[in-house]
């Protein structure tokens, strides 16, 4: 796979994360190239310019605009790690770049704001509303993305909160959107996120920041999983892997009252949501919350139970690689005799990979759409 991004700012070696042998996908897209070319040719930047980059996937934009010491905000831990590692492998100084997460915005104002359109429209809305506090009438705002990711709602949100928009020509299926910044629009509007709902048949109030899976109501797959959670009175170490808003871990804590819960997700907003949902439900119980790539931070053979509703995409990239990597990590981290319980859409066929990795696989429950499997180490 091609790893050298050639743009007017220079040539940059870029790798995706998680790192995979025989990676077939590049660590940047045509929208990144278009944006970097446009900024180089059309935007007057000086050493004093303040540049903000939103949702850079693997650091292509940060590396390209490194000379301006940009601030970069993302909700993805993997994106942040990839950016760090690409900065280092191109011998750029990491100290000049400020990497922030989606709930930790800078207080200063910016001269140039570049927005890569994220997969989740709610995240875009949250970011655009937060953006109002860090722009001035003179801020240049450019959004960029692959045309297939630019629904009419993307344009509507930009126009509602930031100003009139103008499209660029399409290039390699990518487009830029130029915003005529208008700071008099909607100034006093606060982000509607996080949003809350009450988990059915319980008193639990579930917190959902903008980028959280099924943020408005209980997902039907998750609902099915909640009906088939293991319960045990023994003290055990339990991981809610890919926890989103933390519902699964919360109900595991209820069904396993003496166990210790670990919540893991690569989204900062997911972990913030899970933390709030859990501490609201069980203020007196301690749990651990990790923003991380799956179980990479866990020691081998230390966990009794892992429950997982795996993601079927990493941002805009679809595939079951993340699920398989989570199954392999689970095998390493589980104690002998420990259990991994997984829910998946019937057509994803996770049982084939589970059986290959664990050597066993039992169907716990199934309905028309979903199957729940249990494997034992």
Ligand X SMILES: C[S@@+](CC[C@H](N)C(=O)[O-])C[C@H]1O[C@@H](n2cnc3c(N)ncnc32)[C@H](O)[C@@H]1O
* Residue number with CB closer to ligand X (112 or 247): 247
- Percent of residues in the chain assigned helix, strand, coil, to nearest 5: 30, 30, 40
Q: How far apart are CA 27 and CA 87, in angstroms?
A: 13
Vertex 20: Cα angle to 225 and 33 (nearest 5): 105
3-state secondary structure 290-321: EECCCCCCCCCCCEEEEEECCCCEECCEECCH
Place of tokens 């990239």: 317
Q: Which of 244, 253, 327, 353 binds ligand X (CB under 6 A)?
A: 244
Q: Which of 103, 248, 250, 261 binds ligand X (CB under 6 A)?
A: 248
Q: Which of 309, 315, 320, 330 binds ligand X (CB under 6 A)?
A: 309
Q: Is the separation of the CB atoms in 15 and 82 below 8 Å?
A: yes
Q: Which of 64, 194, 311, 338 binds ligand X (CB under 6 A)?
A: 311
Q: Is the separation of the CB atoms in 66 and 91 below 8 Å?
A: no
SS3 of residue 53 by DSSP: strand
Least distance between ligand X and beta carbon 310 (Å): 6
Q: Which of 29, 32, 56, 219 binds ligand X (CB under 6 A)?
A: 219
Q: How far apart are CA 169 and CA 149, in angstroms?
A: 16
* Residue number with CB closer to ligand X (9 or 277): 277
The stretch near ligand X (CB under 6 A) out of 97-105, 113-121, 182-190, 262-270 is: 262-270
233 phi, psi to nearest 5 deg:
-90, -15
Q: How far apart are CA 189 and CA 92, in angstroms?
A: 38
Interaction mask 313-332, ligand X, x per CB under 6 A: -x-------x----------
Place of tokens 């104002």: 109
123 scored as a contact of ligand X (CB under 6 A): no
> Which of 217, 178, 73, 93 minimizes the C-alpha distance to 133?
73
222 scored as a contact of ligand X (CB under 6 A): yes
Vertex 284: Cα angle to 280 and 286 (nearest 5): 90
333 scored as a contact of ligand X (CB under 6 A): no
* Residue number with CB closer to ligand X (64 or 244): 244
Least distance between ligand X and beta carbon 101 (Å): 13
174 scored as a contact of ligand X (CB under 6 A): no
Q: How many residues bind ligand X (CB under 6 A)?
A: 20
* Residue number with CB closer to ligand X (247 or 357): 247
270 scored as a contact of ligand X (CB under 6 A): yes
Place of tokens 């993307």: 154
Least distance between ligand X and beta carbon 70 (Å): 25
293 scored as a contact of ligand X (CB under 6 A): yes
Least distance between ligand X and beta carbon 232 (Å): 20
* Residue number with CB closer to ligand X (9 or 211): 211
User: Can you give the binding site for ligand X, defined by CB under 6 A?
Assistant: 213-214, 219, 222, 242-244, 247-248, 264-267, 270, 293-294, 309, 311, 314, 322
């Amino acid at each position: 796979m091609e790893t050298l991004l050639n743009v007017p700012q220079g040539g940059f070696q870029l790798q995706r994360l998680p790192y995979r042998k025989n990676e077939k996908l590049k660590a940047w897209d045509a929208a990144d190239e278009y944006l970097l070319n446009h900024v180089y040719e059309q935007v007057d930047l000086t050493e004093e310019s303040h540049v903000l980059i939103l949702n850079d996937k693997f650091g292509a934009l940060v590396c390209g605009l490194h000379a301006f010491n940009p601030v970069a905000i993302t909700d993805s831990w993997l994106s942040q790690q990839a950016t760090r590692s690409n900065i280092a492998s191109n011998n750029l100084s990491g100290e000049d770049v400020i990497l922030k997460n989606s709930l930790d915005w800078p207080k200063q104002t910016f001269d140039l704001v570049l927005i890569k359109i994220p997969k989740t429209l709610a995240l875009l809305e949250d970011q655009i509303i937060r953006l109002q506090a860090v722009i001035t009438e003179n801020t240049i705002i450019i959004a960029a993305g692959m045309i297939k990711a630019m629904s009419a709602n993307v344009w509507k949100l930009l126009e509602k909160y930031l100003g009139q928009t103008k499209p660029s020509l399409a290039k390699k299926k990518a487009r830029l959107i130029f915003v005529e910044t208008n700071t008099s629009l909607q100034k006093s509007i606060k982000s509607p996120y996080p949003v809350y709902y009450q988990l059915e048949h319980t008193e639990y109030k579930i917190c959902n920041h903008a980028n959280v899976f099924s943020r408005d109501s209980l997902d039907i797959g998750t609902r099915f999983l909640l009906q088939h959670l293991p319960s045990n009175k023994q003290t055990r170490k339990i991981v809610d892997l890919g926890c989103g808003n933390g519902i699964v871990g919360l109900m595991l804590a209820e069904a396993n009252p003496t166990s210790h819960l670990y919540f893991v997700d690569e989204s900062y907003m997911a972990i913030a949501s899970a933390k709030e949902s859990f501490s609201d439900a069980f203020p007196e119980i301690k749990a651990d919350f990790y923003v991380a790539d799956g179980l990479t931070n866990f020691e081998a053979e230390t966990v009794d139970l892992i429950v997982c509703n795996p993601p079927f995409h990493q941002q805009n990239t679809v595939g079951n690689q993340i699920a398989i990597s989570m199954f392999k990590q689970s095998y390493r981290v589980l104690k002998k005799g420990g259990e991994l319980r997984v829910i998946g859409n019937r057509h994803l066929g996770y049982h084939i990979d589970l059986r290959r990795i664990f050597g066993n696989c039992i169907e716990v429950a199934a309905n028309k759409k979903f199957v729940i499997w249990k494997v034992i180490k």
